[in-house]
Amino acid sequence: MARLGNVCSKLASAKFLRWTLSALTAALVSASVVPTASAQQAAVGDTWLTDCEGTNCVTYFMTAGLQIFIGTEVGGARELAEFRVLPTSIPGTPASIRLDTGWGGAMVVNNCNDTYCNFILDLSASPQVLEQFRAGSSGMIAYVIGEGSQIVMVPFHLTGFTAAYNKRHGG
């Protein structure tokens, strides 16, 4: 299984639990489609950042119901995007991403633990994804939670993505 490393795990463990789970738990109780609100996003730190531990750097975005990490695979040369969603998703269920540029992709939830479920996109094999992230201004991730009865739709912005990504690459 591809991993992005300790910096990703350290960032995610504290912030994901504090932001994502508390922000969406109440909303998921009765709704069958759960869009996250823009006001809620702004309250949880809606910014693209880059953080490093030694030479292991990751560009990331965190909001209620979603984390996006972009970095180099531990022990490898592939650049990966890891999308982390609520831990109530189920491995093997569909997830999708759509950007305002018109680009979109279908993915499948890979693994889950007590903190999150994830799906990974190999950016080395799909370089057009980074081009679309740079060209776009917003996107949406959709995924299934529970027994497939609820769909969570999480909007995110791409403002600041290029600057954070370039910082990771020394630019």
The pLDDT tens digits for 39-69 are 333 333 568 999 888 778 899 999 888 999 9
Written as six digits, the tokens of 99 are 């950007």
The whole domain housing 92 covers 6-168
Confidence of residue 92 (pLDDT cuts 50, 70, 90): very high
**What is the structure's pLDDT at 30?**
31
**What is the structure's pLDDT at 46?**
65
Q: Do 10 and 61 meet the contact criterion of CB atoms below 8 Å apart? A: no
CATH code at 33? 2.60.40.1880
Whole-model pTM? Answer: 0.76
Does the residue 121 lie in any domain? yes
Helix residue ranges per DSSP H, 89-139:
128-135
Give how many domains the chain has, as a whole number.
1
Element (H, E) at 11: helix 6-15
Does the residue 120 lie in any domain? yes
Does the residue 66 lie in any domain? yes
Does the residue 15 lie in any domain? yes
- The tens digit of pLDDT for each residue in 117-136 reads 999 988 888 888 999 999 99
**What is the structure's pLDDT at 118?**
94
| 32 contacts: CB under 8 Å, gap ≥ 6 | 149, 150, 151
Phi first, then psi, for residue 113 (nearest 5°) are -135, -165
* CA–CA dist 86, 71 (Å, integer): 21
147: region left, alpha or beta (phi > 0 left; psi from -120 to 50 alpha): alpha
Does the residue 79 lie in any domain? yes
Cα dihedral across residues 137, 143, 145, 148: positive or negative:
positive
Q: Do 85 and 55 meet the contact criterion of CB atoms below 8 Å apart? A: no
* CA–CA dist 95, 83 (Å, integer): 10
Does the residue 1 lie in any domain? no
Q: How many other C-beta atoms lie within 10 A of the C-beta of residue 39?
A: 7
* CA–CA dist 156, 137 (Å, integer): 9
* CA–CA dist 83, 155 (Å, integer): 13
Which is more confidently placed, 19 or 74? 74
Q: What is the residue-averaged pLDDT of the chain?
A: 76
